[in-house]
Amino acid sequence: MSKSVAIVTGASQGIGRATAVRLARDFSALVLVARNRANLEDTAKAVGAAAEVLVIDADLAEPRAAQSVVDQTLAAFGRIDALLNIAGAVPQVDLFETTEAQWEAGLALKLHGARRLTIAAWPSLMAAKGAVVLMSGNSASFPKAPYAAVGTINAAIVALAKAFSDKGISDGVQVNSVLPGPVMTGRRRSYLQHWAPLHNMTVEEATAKFPKEAGIARYGEPEEIAELMAFLVSPGARWMTGSALRMDGGEAKSI
């Protein structure tokens, strides 16, 4: 297999971790980026000998972090074939209760972190005729007051990916976004453990409540989203660009 390099942000947990492990089957080298180095090292252990791994603990909310990640990647491997922007979690707080700091933190990491890293990696992606994926979410299509920041930022990511894809048509870089529905990650488990007692429910009751309200049979698994991410940076998806792909178990009822 010829040398191929993928950068995965948010690789310390959840969908990012699952995506990194999955991509080890397709890429000879992986760059794992997140703020928690200990968790990144655990992901690297899960990848094992399937691919070379470079671990970079960085806060992509910091403006200089993106170029540093690209510089370290090129110093280690000399190229970038794929960039999967997964980092960033926005708190599910009511529109009238979300603080300025929460808005700024969500924008700084999930939106601007992905924007800056994609721009910094773009010349290398052009040289490799590479692929980019930006992680959005179902709330981009139906933002509601109880989680307004999540929906707003996710919608902005879809628009950003579309703009990058337009540039990528002439530059030879494929760009898409992914909109997952409810996925059972460690972060979601923590949320349910916090939410349940506040509403006089057991964690089990709270866990069962949300899929029913969403009209789906079950939560998604990180590994299922990882398979979609892997497809989008595979040769089989080369003619797919500018798309926003939903994987939600049927949560979105509109056409």
| Catalytic sites, residue numbers | 147
Q: Is 116 helix (H, G, I), strand (E, B) or coil?
A: helix
How far is CA 227 from its chain centroid? 13
H or E stretch covering 30: strand 29-34
Residue 103, burial from CB neighbour count under 10 angstroms (0-12, 13-18, 19+)? middle
C-beta separation of 131 from 175 below 8 A: yes
- DSSP 8-state assignment for residue 127: H
What's the rounded Cα separation, in Å, for the pair 55 and 37?
A: 8
Radius of gyration of the chain, Cα coordinates, nearest whole angstrom: 18
What's the rounded Cα separation, in Å, for the pair 160 and 239?
A: 19
Q: Give the Cβ contact number of residue 189 at 10 Å.
A: 12
What's the rounded Cα separation, in Å, for the pair 225 and 247?
A: 7
Nearest of 77, 67, 174, 74 to residue 129 by alpha carbon: 174
